[in-house]
Structure 1
């Protein structure tokens, strides 16, 4: 669970991680969304779209529209029946609006993909984003610097991650197998953990490769052919690790929310632009709404250099002398032989970053 990276009153932002889609900094409004990690089914699944006004001037006459691929059904809160667009309330300076959207598919519709979210005024697009669905299970075997254990019953080093949508945002779940005996079930932050004995974070597990039988903390689990794990009513997709010295050309976004939405909510969004010369640019915004007042905090952008290290961590060295060191992992191709592009899904300290721009 990611903490806010600059000083904020704790009462304002209590982070619950979610995976975002967001507009670029040049947009007149910022559009963020909470992607659905699970594959779409014929049963509706809910997520949320947040439209923020980063400026000081009041914005009126805004329209929110969702453009979905063929076979995807959209129900937008506040829209007329059968419509996928609606008017937004006026956004005061530094204010935001949150809109719930439900997605499902037809019998032959896609289970995975992306749809476009746009905010317009007078026919002109002021901000847009893409909302991914089915991304959380698009995973396969692992790659990276670590070699598989010689014992087929040993899952050491394998990393699985899943999400669960709640009224307060999306909860992240981790299964990191530290040895032949234990699996780490808490956030993976700073360094990759180890387990010496059973504890709240370290649960015992057993695995028999011949029968493909897995138990975690005495309860049955299933290691599936698509390299995901079903456990405790959740699905966890498997991740791999980028090689030391890897460089990227991408723009990825992370967001989180907390509170009792929609009564009162806090939102946090962080954008990271990685460049092939080893430099990065970071910007962020925190905003919230409640029964009394709304707020938004937008700190100055920051820059620095980044390094993917041999210990499977990413070091962000800021120009002002600060640094962040976080565990790093990537989605894999469906055959498990290679890492997917970083924009398809990057985990830093167990939080999901995605490139979901138009």
Structure 2
């Protein structure tokens, strides 16, 4: 049964490790991460209480501490949560910001380039309608952001910037956005689900200058971290910011256990039962180190730049103007432009679907 089922899925899979795969942002997982994933599934610890996951809990603590320090190297007490991905990370970030703003309603201000999960999170949390500001070249316009914040007249606000848009890989001007947010007394959250792993590379990390000024940062390792889905992270500048997630349940974190020094895992997620996803991340970190992961990220970015130059060298192809967005290259056949918008888009759609076959 297993052989038949797995063979059927494999033969019909969009395999991101295949050189011909027209991939999305999820990556081919590293063998060491896959092996750790299998071990985690076999041991099956549930990360909602220490007595179900004593050793796995320690591995998660060490892993999240390392990730938090990567994002907020100068903060005195940074912390990070393991999540199911960018959608959950953004939801928790907005939830924590809402609780800090209470009883006043939180206003969320973001660029038109924001991931859909930011809008969904605001809807789920019952927040007022988002203030969406204009973008230039796929990046949030700082001047438009300033005008939007000024219009809020001092109301509690959370600015959500993006470091690696899903469609183009664009990175918002984080230093300027951080300055404007501070000027108007707003907090900053950065959705770096795509771009966050650039921090592994000393050469590429400067692209994320200003990231450490955010109160919280979304960071996915099942994109440029070569992890099996799911491997999401939410890093915060101060562990005290996670206090609203605390919850007491005698069957998971009894008072006497906590007083005896047993770690409280229930407040480390909005989920209860959850997988030991930190195990595969830890195995990867131990195997490759920051330098090894940085080399992988650099190779991916360099390959995208080489591909962009190859596209530019072909008169029959037209690339989206501007620099490559992290590892994303957008291009189309010139003949599609000559056919007009509707007919040209239909040609591009045919090409895209042909690649899926």
Name the larger-Rg structure: 2
Question: Normalized against structure 2, the TM-score is what?
Answer: 0.21
Which structure dedicates a bigger proportion of its chain to strand? 1
Q: Which protein has greater RCO, CA pairs closer than 8 Å, 6+ apart? A: 2
Which structure dedicates a bigger proportion of its chain to helix? 2
